[in-house]
Amino acid sequence: MRADLARVNRIPGDWGLEVGVLAEVFRNCAVSRVCQVDLAESYEHKHQVLSADDASKGLRRMACDIAKSLFRTLAAEGMVYGPGHFRSLGVRYVRMAQDSIGRYYADALLNGLLFDRHEEEIAVAAFARSLQEAAAEFNKDPLGLPLIPNWNRVTAAMPEFFQLLRRAVEQDMQMVQNSES
Percent helix / strand / coil, the chain, rounded to 5: 65, 0, 35
pTM over 0.75: no
CB-based contact 69:19 (threshold 8 Å): yes
Residue 11 three-state SS: strand
List, for the chain, all residue ranges whose pLDDT scores fall below the cut of 70.
1, 39, 45
Residue 90: its pLDDT value, please? 94
Tell me the pLDDT tens digit for each residue of 138-159. 999 998 877 777 777 888 888 9
Model pLDDT for residues 27-52, shown as the tens digit of each residue:
888 888 777 777 677 777 677 889 98
The single-letter code of the amino acid at 165 is: L
The C-alpha torsion from 73 through 76 and 80 to 85, rounded to 10°, is 10
Domain boundaries, the chain: 3-150
Q: What's the full length of the chain, in residues? A: 181
> Assign residue 58 a region: left if phi > 0, alpha if psi is -120 to 50, beta otherwise?
left
Per-residue DSSP letters for 99-162? HHHHHHHHHHHHHT----HHHHHHHHHHHHHHHHHHHHHHHH-SS-SPPBPPHHHHHHH-TTHH
